[in-house]
Amino acid sequence: MSKNGTNNGNMEYWREDIAKIKADSTHGSIYLSNQALFIVEEFVQRQLYKNRTELIQALSKLSNALVRAKPLMALIYNRTKHILQFIQNIPKEQKDIMVIKQATLEEIAELRKAAEKNVGVVTRWGCRLILDHHVILTHSASSVVESILLEARRQKKRFRLICTESRPLKEGTEMAYRLAKAGIKVRLIPDADIARAVRDCHFVLTGTDRFTETSFINKTGTHAIATLAKVMNKPLYVAGETGKVLLKRTYPVRFAMNDPLELVDKGKDNVQVDNVYFEESPLDYADKIILEDGVFELKEFKDRYL
């Protein structure tokens, strides 16, 4: 994290760090939400505030800036709001800002510990769905999906994987190389070859940045794969966490346009270049949802969390 500013410095020294999160299109939601948590933790540690009211006001501004940087990543929203709510729930009789600061730092540490545990539990649940000789299709690069596949490999399960390139950044290609290096047999395909891949696979396994009332949000191309899986009667499993549930009525879904030069060398007259990394896919297309609480059929997931 940047070290601009001192205890007497600018309360918004963190703008540079948040700009880095906003510009990061390579890492997934777990990594970036952890980076966001480090920014919050550093702000609390610096103690540029004099009392609880100043802390809540400054942290609210920081939280809102983090959410705006990655509005599709529910973990950032839910974790920062959790910390704010924790501070607000400290008994009003407690006036000692050092006590409030220490309690908040301990809560952040507990939040981080719980997040790490969740990933491990989701990994174990997801691994149970993989049997010998399965062919699995995945799209983009989800750290949870990668963790599930690596655990299945460690358990000596014999399966094969189909990875899409996941253009324009080709993070699917990079994940394919990492998994192949771990000993998993991988077939790498262009994104346009998904029909053949869905036909050949036993099921589709994907991650998500967010669950809403009606959808899950993942890399563009997921909707097409989910639609094909539905038509071809192939199961779609979505791996996430309960912390990725964020309803639209709580916070709207907003998609951003990205650099058109990632798709073309230069602009052309009368050509509009749309480069949108993420999209909504219908939640009803999913067969099972993998969470830290277990593996849920779609109806059970909706009834319990939505």
Task: Taking the CA atoms of 300, 301, 305 and 306 in sequence, report the sign of the dihedral they define.
Answer: negative
Structure tokens at 107: 């809560």
Residue 6 has pLDDT above 90, yes or no: no
Q: Which domains does the chain have, with CATH numbers?
A: 15-120 (1.20.120.420), 128-305 (3.40.50.10470)
Quick one: which H or E segment has residue 63?
helix 52-69
Check residue 11 and give its pLDDT: 82
pTM (two decimals): 0.94
Round to whole Å and give the CA distance between 129 and 112.
27
Residue 33 has pLDDT above 70, yes or no: yes
Check residue 304 and give its pLDDT: 97
* 8 Å CB contact between 216 and 240: yes
pLDDT tens sequence across 175-187: 999 999 999 999 9
Check residue 86 and give its pLDDT: 98
pLDDT tens sequence across 86-134: 999 999 999 999 999 999 999 999 999 999 999 999 999 999 999 999 9
Burial class (CB in 10 A: 0-12, 13-18, 19+), 88: exposed
pLDDT tens sequence across 266-289: 888 999 999 999 999 999 999 999
Check residue 7 and give its pLDDT: 46
Check residue 134 and give its pLDDT: 98
Check residue 3 and give its pLDDT: 46
Averaged over 152-164, what is the pLDDT?
A: 98
Average pLDDT for the chain: 95
Check residue 35 and give its pLDDT: 97
pLDDT band at residue 5 using 50, 70 and 90 as cut-offs: very low
pLDDT tens sequence across 190-248: 999 999 999 999 999 999 999 999 999 999 999 999 999 999 999 999 999 999 999 99
